[in-house]
C-alpha cells in the first residue's frame, strides 16, 4: 500500500496520496495547496495518479487541484452537487478502484453540503498495526473533535447525523477503522473506537 500524508498550506490541511504499491496507481485526496510539493512527492513515490478525490469544496482542500489535474491530465472526482468542478461526480454507494483496493463513497453533509468520506475495508494493516480498514473523513470528524458547521451551507444537526449514521453506526465500519482526517490540529490519525470513547462531542453523535 502507498499512503503518504502531507500537511499543506496555512490551514494545516491534510493531503493524502493513497494507492497500490503493486500497480503504483494512486489517488490524490484533497490537494489543498503547495501543488509543486504534491507533484514532487508523487514523483518520488514513482506513482501513477488516476484521479483527484475531493472531500468537500472549501478552498483549503482544493486550492492545488487545478494545477495537479492539468499536470497529470486526470479527472477531479467530487460530490454530485459541487459547483466548483465539472469532472466526475460522486454519490453515496459509488466505488473508486485504485489498484487492488476499493474506496467506497459516503455522503456526509454537515460541515458543507458537498462533504464526502471515502472508506476501504481492504486495508488490514497500517505500520504494523492490525486494522479493519481506513476512512478519509475530510472535515467531518477529527482527532478528539469535529468539523465546524457555521460556514455557508453548514448544519450542526446534519454533521452529528452524518458522524452517527455514516460512521459510528455503519455496519461496514468498525471501531478498528483508522480515521485520516482533513486537518492536523491535534494529530491527523485516530480511530473510530478512540473517537467513540474520547471525542469531546461524543454525546451528540452516539
Average pLDDT over residues 160-165: 98
Which residue reads 512527492 in cell numbers? 41
Chain centroid to CA 197: how far? 22
- Beta pairing, strands 95-98 & 89-90: unpaired
Cell reading at 150: 457555521
pLDDT one-digit tens code per residue, 95-113:
999 999 999 999 999 999 9
**Helices 35-44 and 65-72, interaxial angle, to 10°?**
40
**60 contact partners, CB below 8 Å, separation of at least 6:** 9, 11, 13, 32, 33
How many residues make up the chain in this entry?
Answer: 206
Average pLDDT over residues 25-52: 98
Is the pTM for the entire model greater than 0.85? Answer: yes
* All structural domains of the chain: 2-205 (3.60.15.10)
Cell reading at 111: 460541515
Lowest mean pLDDT among 43-57, 78-92, 114-128, 159-173: 78-92
Across the beta sheet with 89-90, the strand order is 2-8, 13-19, 25-29, 48-53, 76-79, 89-90
What is the band of 80 on the pLDDT scale with cuts at 50, 70, 90? Answer: confident
82 phi and psi, to 5 degrees? -65, 140
Amino acid at each position: 500500500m502507498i499512503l503518504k500524508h502531507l500537511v499543506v498550506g496555512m490551514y494545516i490541511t491534510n493531503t493524502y496520496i493513497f494507492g497500490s504499491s503493486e500497480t503504483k496507481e494512486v489517488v490524490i485526496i484533497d490537494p489543498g495547496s503547495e501543488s509543486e510539493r504534491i507533484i514532487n512527492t508523487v514523483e518520488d513515490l514513482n506513482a501513477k495518479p488516476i484521479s483527484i478525490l475531493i472531500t468537500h469544496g472549501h478552498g483549503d482542500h482544493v486550492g492545488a487541484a487545478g494545477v495537479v489535474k492539468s499536470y497529470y491530465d486526470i479527472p477531479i472526482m467530487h460530490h454530485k452537487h459541487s459547483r466548483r468542478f465539472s469532472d466526475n461526480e460522486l454519490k453515496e454507494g459509488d466505488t473508486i478502484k485504485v489498484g487492488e483496493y476499493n474506496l467506497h463513497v459516503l455522503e456526509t453533509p454537515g460541515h458543507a453540503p458537498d462533504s464526502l468520506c471515502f472508506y476501504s475495508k481492504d486495508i488490514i494493516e497500517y505500520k504494523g498495526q492490525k486494522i479493519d480498514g481506513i476512512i478519509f473523513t475530510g472535515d467531518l470528524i477529527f482527532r478528539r473533535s469535529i468539523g465546524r458547521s457555521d460556514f455557508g451551507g453548514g448544519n450542526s444537526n446534519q454533521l452529528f447525523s452524518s458522524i452517527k449514521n455514516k460512521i459510528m453506526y455503519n455496519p461496514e465500519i468498525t471501531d478498528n477503522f483508522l480515521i485520516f482526517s482533513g486537518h492536523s490540529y491535534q494529530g491527523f490519525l485516530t480511530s473510530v473506537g478512540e473517537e467513540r470513547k474520547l471525542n469531546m462531542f461524543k454525546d451528540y453523535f452516539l
